[in-house]
Amino acid sequence: MRIKLFQEDALEEDRTEIYYREMTEQIEKVRQLLEDSVPQLFGLEDGEQVLLSLEEIFYIDTVDKKTFAYLRKQVYQIQGSLTFLESALSKHGFCRISKANIVNIQQIERVKSEANMRLKVVLNNQEELVISRYYRKIFQNYLKKVRGILHD
């Protein structure tokens, strides 16, 4: 197998392409390694990029077409749309709960029922986020899936 690496400073996102004639065990291992790797999120602080730990992020929010990661005491602007982040982070404990929010389920202290078939999550820092009716079932299914993985 031949491997080529290219550094391009202008890239907005790292990418990997694998060309193969036939799927082998070795190629499958490489694919799994790449898919299971933890994405890196960088937040802007005083014009510099800071590497954020996914475990410390409580939730991600979008306001005025800008995306922010909320940690216990800090808020960082991050790159990427919620749709992209939802896809990239879903394997790492993050679930979309509304048009503007993705929550880290590891940071949820409790879930409360609200009026109009809505749910509210109370985070470990006591912030409360509303799960919209549209995302309610998606959230509940995600929790079931994660619990199933944790209990296996």
CATH number (domain holding residue 110): 2.40.50.1020
Domain-embedded: residue 18:
no
Residue 142 belongs to a domain:
yes
Note the Cα 27 to chain centre separation in Å.
26
Residue 36 has pLDDT above 50, yes or no: yes
For 47, how many CA atoms within 13 A lie in the half-sphere containing its CB? 0
Q: Quick one: how many helices (H) and strands (E) in the chain?
A: 3, 10
Neighbours of 96 (CB within 10 A): 24
For the segment 21-26, the average pLDDT, to the nearest whole number, is: 89
Q: What is the DSSP code (8-state) at residue 10?
A: T
In this prediction, residue 151 has a pLDDT band, given cuts at 50, 70 and 90, of very low
Does residue 101 sit within a domain? Answer: yes
The answer to whether the predicted template modeling score (pTM) of the entire model surpasses 0.85 is: no
With vertex at residue 23, the alpha carbon angle to CA 37 and CA 84, rounded to the nearest 5 degrees, is 35
In a domain, 106, yes or no: yes
Q: Mean pLDDT throughout 19-44? A: 82
Provide the domain limits for residue 106: 39-151
- Report the chain's mean pLDDT, rounded to a whole number: 87
Total number of residues shown for the chain = 152
Tens-place pLDDT, residues 84-112: 999 889 888 999 999 999 999 999 999 99
| pLDDT of res. 150 | 47
Please give the C-alpha separations between residue 124 and each of 27, 49, 57, 120, in angstroms, as whole numbers.
41, 26, 11, 13
Work out how many domains the chain is built from and give that number: 1
